[in-house]
A and B are shown apart, each in its own frame.
Chain A
C-alpha cells in the first residue's frame, strides 16, 4: 500500500465517482483489501467499482467518515455516546426507502457496525407490521398448506396468516 495516498476513488454501480479517505475505507474489509492491492498505487489509473448504487454509497461513505476516527484510535465514553446519538440521527433520515440497500451494502462490504445498526433499525420498523406487510417487504409467499395453517393455529392460538 502506498502511504502517500490519503483518499481513494471508487465508482458506484451507477458509474459515479466517489472519494473515500483511506482511514474510512479501513472500516470495510473488502475495501481494505483493495487498498493493499496494486489498484491504488500511484501508477494505476484503473478505478475500482463497488457494487453499490450512488444513493446508498453516499450514506455508507458518510457513516465511514464519521466512524473512522474512533475505529482507528479508540475513543472515550463521551465520544461513544456522541457517536451513538449520531447513529440514531443517521438512521432517522429518510432511510426507509434505502435502508434495505444500506443493509445489503453493509453486508457486502463487511461493515459490522453499520450492518448491526441497519438490522436493528429495520427490526424496529418491522415490529408493528402485520404478517402480510412483512411478506410484502421481503417478497415472501405464504407457502403453508391449509392443513399446516390449521396445525399452526392450534399450536399458537392467535397466530395470524394475514
Chain B
C-alpha cells in the first residue's frame, strides 16, 4: 500500500537535517534526503528479523513501531516474498529424558548463507525450552510443547502448541481442539501452518485422516488467531497453497502413507514414496538410531507458479540428508534431487 504524504513529509528529526560528517563510507552516498516516517516504516517491514532487532536501539520511534501488531503482520507478509530455501533441523544432543534439543538452521547448497532471518540468540532461547519446531512459515515458527515421556520416546507432546515470532521475540500458546488431542500422535493427524490470510496473521489447520472400510475422509479444523478458537473448516480456502501434505505413521514409527490433499476440490492423492522413505523408521529402538522423514512444503520460489513439495530423509547419526522433490502432481512422482552430508559448513553434496 502506498500512501503519499507529500504534505506531511514528517521530518524524522528536524534539527538533524543538515548533512553532517563528510565520511567516505558507502552509506554516505544516501545522505541528503529526509524520509517521511511511513517510508522508514515500510522499508523496515522488508528487513530480516535479525536486522530489525539490531536496529531497535536506533531511536524510540523505531523501537516503538517495530513492536506494533500491524508492523509485525506486514513484516510476515513481506518475508515470504523473498525466496529462501533454508530449513530447520533439530538435533537431539543426548537421548535421555528431559534433554532439550538443539535447533539449527541449514541452508541448501547454492543458497547463500541464510538464516531465515532468525536471530541467533532467538535460536538459543528456543533451545532452552522444551519445545519442538514443527514448521516455519513467513517468519513465524510453529512449535509443540513437550513433556517427559518414557524411554523410547523421551519427549512426548503435551497437546499444546506455541507460535513464536522471532521478530517480536514473543511466544503465544494455543490449546488443541478436543478431538485432536485424542488422536494426536496416533496415526492420522497432521498440522498445516500457513500463510497470512485475509487479515489473520497466520493460518493453522488440523487434519484428521479417517479410514473406514471403503472410504477415506479428512476432517479439517482451522484455528482463528483473532478469536482464539478452532472451527470446522470448509473446502475452498487456500492458505496460499493448493495442496496440503498429510503424513501418517504406524505405531512403529514407520511412515505409512503420505497424502496430498487438495484444498479446492477436497481430492486426496497418495504419494508414491521412494523405497528409502517407506523403510526408514522414525526411531529404531534397537539401534538407538534416529531417522527423520519429513515432508514439507517450501515457500513458492520466486517466479514459479506451483507449490514446491519436498521430502527429506535425514539420518541423524550420520548427518546425511536425502532430498526428493515432487515434480508431477498428476503422477505424484517424487524425484531424488541429491544426497548430502551436513557438516560444519552446511550441506555438501
Binding site for B on A (CB under 8 A): 30, 51, 77, 80-81, 84, 96-97, 99-101, 103-104, 106-112, 115, 119-120, 122-127, 129, 131, 133-144, 149, 152, 156-161
Contacts and interface: CB of A to CB of B under 8 A. Distances in A.
B57 A80 contact: no
Contacts of A77: 303, 305
Contacts of A160: 54, 57
Interface residues of B, number: 53
B33 A161 contact: no
Contacts of B33: 100-101, 104
B53 A156 contact: yes
Interface stretch (B35-43, B249-257, B320-328): B35-43
A124 B51 CA distance: 10
Contact of B59 (A84, A119, A135): A135
A14 to B, nearest CB: 15
A158 B13 contact: no
B53 A159 contact: yes
Interface string B49-63: 001011111111111
A108 B6 contact: yes
Contacts of A157: 121
A110 B55 contact: no
Contacts of A149: 57
Contacts of A138: 12, 35, 40, 58
Contacts of A107: 2-5, 36, 38-39
A103 B30 CA distance: 12
A51 B5 CA distance: 13
Nearest to B47: A123
A96 B30 contact: yes
